[in-house]
């Protein structure tokens, strides 16, 4: 039983069944069993992860990854879409923490400001505007919950096996080994203390044209969103006018 592949396959199947039980299926039966199964699968998967070198790094990474993954599972499992959005906010905070932990300080702040500050609040606005009272029937059932849970977890399992296989497979002598970066090199480039200055130099130096294109894309999206919403309003108005004429 110490073959990591067998443990990974079992973890995947356990997680698939647990997620299936957790997803909305029209009944409350089996939800707590699903939560327990998913938690067991998460723990078994986490026990297979390699040690990060020292206990502080390990525990910080563990807490951040656990927050991210658990809140992501809660996002797709909750029936009330408001709770889904709030759990998704926690996922964003977890990913922002992981970004910070990997040395991407600007991206961590940008994720919180852009996602949690703008996109998520807009989602909540639309929910408040659009959600009818009470829990809607379509929030309490899913499309093919078992099929999608199995498919998604098999995808995760295959991907993790591939990732683990790349780093643990014995290599041919002529192949260039994956060289981890030295701490000194990292401190001079990606983990440089003047992080935002280095990032800005890279962004507005090497990727200037891409920045311009992204600006044009944002403008196009803004105009497009305004047109879509305005067109719906116009049609409504026309219908109302036509009805008034008929009356």
Partner 1 sequence: MSPEIALLNNYLIVGAILFGLGLIGFMSRRNMIVMFLAAEMMLQGVSLSLVAWSRFRNDFGGQMLVIFIIAVAACEAAIALGLVTTLFQRSGRLDIADWHALREANQPAFVDEPISEETSTEEPLPTLARAGVAPQVPPVKTDYRPNV
Contact between 193 and partner 1 per CB under 8 A = no
Q: By CB under 8 A, is residue 21 in contact with partner 1?
A: no
What contacts 82, CB < 8 A, 6 or more positions away?
Answer: 124, 127, 131
Q: Min. distance of Cβ 246 from partner 1 in angstroms? A: 20
Residues 121-150 binding partner 1 (CB under 8 A) are 122-123, 126-145, 148-149
C-beta of 163: minimal distance to partner 1 in Å?
5
Q: Closer to partner 1 at the Cβ: 37 or 65?
A: 65
Min dist CB 245 to partner 1, Å, is: 22
Residue 111 makes contact with partner 1 by CB under 8 A: yes
Minimal distance, residue 40 CB to partner 1, in Å: 15
Task: Kindly identify the residues of this chain, within the stretch 70-109, that bind partner 1 according to CB under 8 A.
Answer: 72-73, 75-76, 81-82, 84-85, 88, 91-92, 95, 98-99, 102-104, 106-107
Residue 112: both structure tokens together: 């919180």
Taking phi over 0 as left and psi of -120 to 50 as alpha, with beta for the rest, 119 belongs to alpha
What is the total residue count of the chain? 247
Which member of 4, 181, 196, 242 binds partner 1 (CB under 8 A)?
181
**Neighbouring residues of 9: CB distance < 8 A, sequence distance ≥ 6:** 157
Of residues 65, 98, 97, 106, the one with CA closest to residue 192: 106
Angle at CA 154, nearest 5°, toward 152 and 158?
Answer: 120
Tell me the closest approach of the beta carbon of residue 174 to partner 1, in angstroms. 20
- The reply to whether 212 sits near partner 1 by the rule CB under 8 A is no
Q: Cβ 2 to partner 1, closest distance in Å?
A: 17
Closest CA to 167 of 149, 158, 180: 180
Q: Are 5 and 143 in contact (CB under 8 A)?
A: no
Nearest distance, CB of residue 62 and partner 1, angstroms? 9
Q: CB-wise, 33 or 52, nearer to partner 1?
A: 52
- What is the widest separation between alpha-carbon atoms in the chain? 86
Among 5, 196, 197, 202, binds partner 1 (CB under 8 A): 202
Q: Does 234 bind partner 1 (CB under 8 A)?
A: no
CA atoms within 13 A on the CB side of 55: 0
Q: Tell whether residue 43 is a contact of partner 1 (CB under 8 A).
A: no
| Residue 164 binding partner 1, by CB under 8 A | yes
How far apart CA 46 and CA 35 sit, in angstroms, is 16
| Interface with partner 1, residue 53, by CB under 8 A | yes
CB atoms within 10 A of CB 48: 12
- Distance from C-alpha of 245 to C-alpha of 247, rounded to nearest angstrom: 5
């Amino acid at each position: 039983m110490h073959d990591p592949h067998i443990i990974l396959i079992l973890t995947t199947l356990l997680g698939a069944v647990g997620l299936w039980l957790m997803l909305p299926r029209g009944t409350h039966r089996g939800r707590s069993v699903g939560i327990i199964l998913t938690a067991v699968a998460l723990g078994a998967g986490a026990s297979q992860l390699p040690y990060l070198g020292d206990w502080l790094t390990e525990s910080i990474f563990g807490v951040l990854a656990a927050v991210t993954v658990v809140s992501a599972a809660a996002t797709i499992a909750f029936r009330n879409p408001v709770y889904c959005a709030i759990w998704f906010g926690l996922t964003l905070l977890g990913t922002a923490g992981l970004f910070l932990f990997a040395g991407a300080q600007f991206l961590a702040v940008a994720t919180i400001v852009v996602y949690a500050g703008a996109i998520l609040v807009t989602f909540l606005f639309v929910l408040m505007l659009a959600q009818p009272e009470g829990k809607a029937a379509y929030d309490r059932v899913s499309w093919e919950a078992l099929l999608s849970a199995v498919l998604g977890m098999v995808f995760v399992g295959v991907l993790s096996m591939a990732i683990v296989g790349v780093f643990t497979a014995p290599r041919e002598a002529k192949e260039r080994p994956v060289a981890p970066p030295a701490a000194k090199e990292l401190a001079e480039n990606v983990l440089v203390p003047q992080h935002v200055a280095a990032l800005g130099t890279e962004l507005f130096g090497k990727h200037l044209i891409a920045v311009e294109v992204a600006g044009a894309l944002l403008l196009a999206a803004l105009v497009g969103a305004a047109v879509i919403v305005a067109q719906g309003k116009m049609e409504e108005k026309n219908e109302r006018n036509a009805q008034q004429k008929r009356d």
